[in-house]
Chains A and B, each alone.
Chain A
Amino acid sequence: MSFQEIAALMTIAVPLLAAIAVFTTGKGRNLQGLIYIAAIVISISSIAMVFGGLNRFTLVFPEFSWIVILGLEILLTGIFLYYAFKLKSIIIAAAAVIEIIFSALSPLNTAPPLAVDSLSMVLILITSLLGSVISIYSLHYMRNDERKREFFTVIFVFIAAMNGAVMANENSWFILFWGVTSLCSFLLIKHPETHEAQKAAKLALTINTAGGAALAVGMYLAVSYYNGDSLESFSSASMAVPAIFLVAAAMTKSAQFPVQSWLPGAMAAPVPVSALLHSSTMVNLGIYLLLRISQVFADSPALSAGVAFIGLISFVAAAVLAAAQSNAKRLLAYSTISNLGLIVMCAGIAQPHALMAAIIFLIYHALSKALLFLTVGSVKEKTGSEDIEDMRSLSGKSSFLTAALITGIVSITLPPFGMFASKWMIIGAASANPGIIIPLAIGLGVTSLYYFKWVGVIISPTDPAVKDKQPKEYRFSISILLLSIIALSISIIPVAQSIARAASETFELSPDLFTLELSGGLFPLVIILLVSIISFLAFFIPPKGRRIKGYACGETEQYLPAGEYYLSKNYQTIFKKFVYALSIFTFILMVVVGVL
């Protein structure tokens, strides 16, 4: 075994070992040291794996490994059935049974079980590094929790499963890891044990196991009727029928309309869970699946248009709904659905530039969402509320948290940050299809509206400014994310180039298709960077002149109005119904046209 293969295996094995260690450790005395060590080892092994080179390599296991996998799958089904019985849900039970039947029925195949290529590496890096940072953050955040051992066990199992899922090549391995991530998500949403959390967890489990069943059926069809023994084999329009099942599965995981409803509910979970599972890593699994089978879309116009439009509908509709949220976590949940919709759209378009844009977007989105969630968690601890209206004048209270929130938001929406480069590539790809342009434009407008409405509340001034203690324990995790976002934004060109190389290897397309066409060369980018530096330096200009109060018609008192949320609950429901109808119609149309 080469050094790189060992490193790759370690990204699965170390979190698993950490999970076992955390679970067996008594009363959490050594929890802190254990988690620090686990986080460091996971990060180092993922980085070491990438330094081994971006070439694809496979991991082969002894023949009998399929029995282990089958055994684990039966165990997983058992757990699902147990919860289905406990929650009295027939759908979960049926989905679990369908999943196990179809994955057991699949004939044995000879594909190597695990294969790592550059796309997997990107996702492993995201999962391992963010997982490490967020577990260190949770150490303090969950300090008063009774069941923090269980919490950390599930978190580490999730990291292992997620790394396994993006490495899995053989179908049954992929289905198993996919199922484990669903289970982890369910357990973590359930963790607060409130009524709301129980309800949200049930919904999440229902939708995700249904997605798992769709995945198993799709894989079974692919193996039995289309000779597709692994994800690699989805490469032509002849695979359209199993591909549709896989698209349905991906939609449940990435929370696209009409099966998005579990993600806003999942915000009942503690903040680190939202940061890790429900915005930056687990939801990427659906997109990963779509990217893996994107060559089917490139071959089949009906599927391509269908997936692109489902992504587009989610992008615009979730953006509009996000503008109506006053709870910061719910706003972030809807914006996650919206941004994932954009990436799904890219995967659906499946042009080389769109694929590259999707990968770049994935990285920046994961980073900035993790940052935003962690910051909202710190703010919640500080002010006791996660409502946007209660964050008023945060800039006067904590400049660090304000800077973190604004950087997170700006990195999703404005230049010079990475999001902007990927957006601009998306547009290059979308101009291929004129029907996409106008909804895309509306979505971009609404996105800046809801984010900057929030920024506005944060930076609204207080007079005099109240300074209070900064949360030191969170500084480490938040600063790391902050710095990495800034570093990635400054180095957008080298990052984009290496992503281009990685994408051309992953999708086995000529590297010429992934060239970065920059009319005017690099100079405009330099200008943008320069302008951003000027804006940053403007902070240090000493303000001159008379200090004066705000205009209030000559009065001395100032009243700031409450926030504006555009859509009432009623209108939100009506709007959602309309979007459900639209997205279901699009999906059915895609199925009908795709199959015919």
Chain B
Amino acid sequence: MSLKNSPWVMHFDTGSCNGCDMEIWALLTPYYDIERFGAINAGNPKHADVLLLTGPVNKKSASRLKNLYDQVPEPKVVIAVGDCASTGAPFQDCYNICGGISTVIPVDVFVQGCAARPEAIIDGFSKAIGILEEKRSGRHGSERGDKVAGAENAGIQSQAGHDSGRGER
């Protein structure tokens, strides 16, 4: 109940082209108004419940990402926004890229699209809130690893459907 009503977000760019970031900032505008869910862009891992990540993880940002992830208190969820964050997409084999977010930290929700549409992000966000609530009540923990792996595959498969407006988990 309580977590559902107040998901505080921390947004971190692990090396994106800023396309997805712009879509995330669009969520704060009156049109999409993500604050109606009680969300705040906290900007501080210690206050956050939801990590909203964009871009492929480059080698510089990997340790920072890990660090920030550790500083988010439990329970927490991670949303990888956009194709790059999900798989590394076109940058996958670059010399300085580790790959998608899930190569560094466990991801709960993948949002596809290049750039991901705001509607898709909101959809993923609402799914993430559900997972957050499950984690708090302890129903989620045990099966978490499997779901992440499955979701990762799903992300790769729907790479082309970037304008589909669907959040994928």
Q: Which residues of A contact B (CB under 8 A)?
A: 546, 548-549, 551, 553-556
- Top-8 shortest CB links A-B: A554-B64, A554-B67, A554-B68, A551-B46, A548-B71, A551-B44, A551-B71, A551-B45
B70 adjacent to chain A (CB < 8 Å): yes
| Residues on A with beta carbons closer than 8 Å to the beta carbon of B46 | 548, 551
B65 touches A554 (CB 8 A): yes
Which residue on B lies nearest to A553, using beta carbons? B64
Q: Which residues of B contact A (CB under 8 A)?
A: 12, 44-46, 61, 63-65, 67-68, 70-71, 73
| Residues on A with beta carbons closer than 8 Å to the beta carbon of B64 | 553-555
Is chain A's binding surface mostly helix, strand, loop or mixed? loop
Bound: A326/B11 CA distance, A:
39
Bound: A563/B46 CA distance, A:
26
Bound: A549/B68 CA distance, A:
11
Bound: A356/B165 CA distance, A:
75
Count chain A CB atoms within 10 A of each CB in B46, B61, B68, B71 and give the residue with the most.
Answer: B71
Q: Can you pick out 20 interface pairs between chain A and chain B where the beta carbons lie within 8 Å of each other? A: A546-B73, A548-B46, A548-B70, A548-B71, A549-B71, A551-B44, A551-B45, A551-B46, A551-B71, A553-B64, A554-B12, A554-B61, A554-B63, A554-B64, A554-B65, A554-B67, A554-B68, A555-B64, A555-B67, A556-B67
Which residue on B lies nearest to A548, using beta carbons? B71
Q: How far is the CB of A203 from chain B (nearest CB, A)?
A: 51
| Residues on B with beta carbons closer than 8 Å to the beta carbon of A553 | 64
Bound: A554/B45 CA distance, A:
9
Q: How far is the CB of A197 from chain B (nearest CB, A)?
A: 50
Bound: A554/B67 CA distance, A:
5
Bound: A556/B71 CA distance, A:
12
Bound: A551/B48 CA distance, A:
12
Give 17 A-B pairs besides A548-B70, A551-B71, A556-B67 with Cβ atoms closer than 8 angstroms: A546-B73, A548-B46, A548-B71, A549-B71, A551-B44, A551-B45, A551-B46, A553-B64, A554-B12, A554-B61, A554-B63, A554-B64, A554-B65, A554-B67, A554-B68, A555-B64, A555-B67
Bound: A551/B45 CA distance, A:
8
Q: How far is the CB of B16 from chain A (nearest CB, A)?
A: 16
Bound: A548/B46 CA distance, A:
10
| Residues on B with beta carbons closer than 8 Å to the beta carbon of A548 | 46, 70-71
Q: How far is the CB of A550 from chain B (nearest CB, A)?
A: 9
| Residues on A with beta carbons closer than 8 Å to the beta carbon of B68 | 554
Bound: A549/B71 CA distance, A:
8
| Residues on A with beta carbons closer than 8 Å to the beta carbon of B63 | 554
Bound: A546/B69 CA distance, A:
14
Count chain A CB atoms within 10 A of each CB in B45, B67, B73 and give the residue with the most.
Answer: B67
Bound: A554/B71 CA distance, A:
9
| Residues on A with beta carbons closer than 8 Å to the beta carbon of B65 | 554
Bound: A548/B65 CA distance, A:
15
Which residue on B lies nearest to A549, using beta carbons? B71
Which residue on A lies nearest to B70, using beta carbons? A548
| Residues on A with beta carbons closer than 8 Å to the beta carbon of B67 | 554-556
Which residue on A lies nearest to B66, using beta carbons? A554
Bound: A555/B60 CA distance, A:
11
| Residues on B with beta carbons closer than 8 Å to the beta carbon of A556 | 67
| Residues on A with beta carbons closer than 8 Å to the beta carbon of B45 | 551
Q: How far is the CB of A552 from chain B (nearest CB, A)?
A: 9
| Residues on A with beta carbons closer than 8 Å to the beta carbon of B12 | 554
Q: How far is the CB of A543 from chain B (nearest CB, A)?
A: 14
Bound: A555/B64 CA distance, A:
6
Count chain B CB atoms within 10 A of each CB in A549, A554, A555, A556 and give the residue with the most.
Answer: A554
Bound: A548/B73 CA distance, A:
10
Bound: A554/B68 CA distance, A:
5
